[in-house]
Structure 1
Amino acid sequence: MDDATGRLMHLRFCDSENAFDYMMATRQYIDKHGKPVAFYSDKHAVFRVSGPESRRTGTTQFGRALRELAIELICANSSQAKGRVERVNKTLQDRLIKEMRLQNISSVAEANQWIEHFMSD
Structure 2
Amino acid sequence: MAERRMFSRVVYLTPATIRQGESSWTSNVLDLSLKGALLSTPEDWGIGNETDYVVSFKLHDSDIELSMELQLIQDGGDYLRFQIDHIDIDSASHLKRLVELNVGNDDLLHRELAQLTDLKDTV
TM-score range (shorter-chain normalised) is under 0.3
Of Structure 1 and Structure 2, the greater strand share is in 2
Q: TM-score, normalised by structure 2?
A: 0.26
Q: Which has the higher helix share?
A: 1
